[in-house]
């Protein structure tokens, strides 16, 4: 997902280059649910991902001249994830962080499959106490008494 700079002239109070409607307020309960143990200091960059539902969309033509002068969409955030933004490595390009995260998930998946395969092999070896190899047709190459 590409991030878009939302600066505009409508700063609100206190003066800021961002519209007041883009400001989120989180209380103690919400901060705890997001895993914050301490308050992040003002100015700390946070990475946020959210899922929202459109609750209202409208257009207005207050001067009745036939063209739309105002467009508005209201969103209700329904799911929110938030973490302190890590300092990017100097040579990091956009998207590399997500690639590293995907690589970690893939490695974990491969490790899980490898461990499962290793456990099945060890179990098969334990099941063949008499020597030989267990296969779909029973124990093969088992020692034969003469």
Confidence at residue 146, expressed as pLDDT on a 0 to 100 scale? 46
In a domain, 2, yes or no: no
In a domain, 44, yes or no: no
In a domain, 125, yes or no: yes
Confidence at residue 28, expressed as pLDDT on a 0 to 100 scale? 86
- Count of CB atoms situated within 10 Å of the CB of 124: 12
Arithmetic mean of pLDDT, 116-129: 70
In a domain, 33, yes or no: no
In whole angstroms, give the CA distance from residue 112 to residue 8. Answer: 49
- Output 50 or 119, whichever has higher pLDDT: 50
Q: State percent of the chain over pLDDT 70.
A: 70
Among 109, 54, 93, CA closest to 77: 54
Q: How many domains does the chain have?
A: 1
In a domain, 123, yes or no: yes
- Count of CB atoms situated within 10 Å of the CB of 113: 10
In a domain, 126, yes or no: yes
**Which backbone phi and psi does 133 adopt, to 5 degrees?**
-125, 135
* Element at 93 (helix H, strand E): none
Q: What is the pLDDT of residues 1-47, one digit of tens each?
A: 676 777 776 655 566 777 777 888 888 888 888 888 888 888 888 88
Domain extent, residue 125, equals 94-130
In whole angstroms, give the CA distance from residue 85 to residue 51. Answer: 19
Per the rule left: phi > 0, alpha: psi between -120 and 50, beta: everything else, 49 is beta
In a domain, 5, yes or no: no
User: Where do the H-state alpha helices sit in the chain?
Assistant: 28-33, 96-127
Check whether 65 has a pLDDT greater than 80: yes
Q: What is the pLDDT of residues 76-91, one digit of tens each?
A: 888 888 888 776 656 6
Check whether 63 has a pLDDT greater than 80: yes
Check whether 136 has a pLDDT greater than 60: no
What average pLDDT does the structure give for the chain? 75
In a domain, 37, yes or no: no
- Output 52 or 136, whichever has higher pLDDT: 52
* pTM passes above 0.85: no
């Amino acid at each position: 997902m590409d991030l878009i700079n939302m600066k505009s002239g409508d700063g609100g109070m206190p003066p800021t280059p961002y519209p007041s409607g883009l400001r989120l307020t989180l209380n103690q309960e919400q901060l705890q649910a997001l895993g914050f143990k301490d308050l992040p200091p003002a100015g700390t960059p946070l990475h946020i991902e959210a899922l929202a539902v459109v609750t209202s969309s409208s257009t207005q033509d207050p001067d009745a001249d036939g063209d739309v002068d105002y467009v508005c969409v209201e969103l209700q955030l329904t799911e929110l994830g938030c973490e302190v933004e890590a300092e990017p490595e100097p040579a990091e390009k956009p998207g590399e962080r997500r690639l590293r995260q995907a690589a970690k998930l893939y490695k974990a998946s491969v490790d899980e499959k490898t461990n499962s395969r290793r456990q099945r092999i060890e179990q098969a070896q334990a099941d063949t106490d008499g020597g030989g190899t267990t296969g779909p047709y029973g124990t093969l190459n088992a020692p034969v008494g003469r």
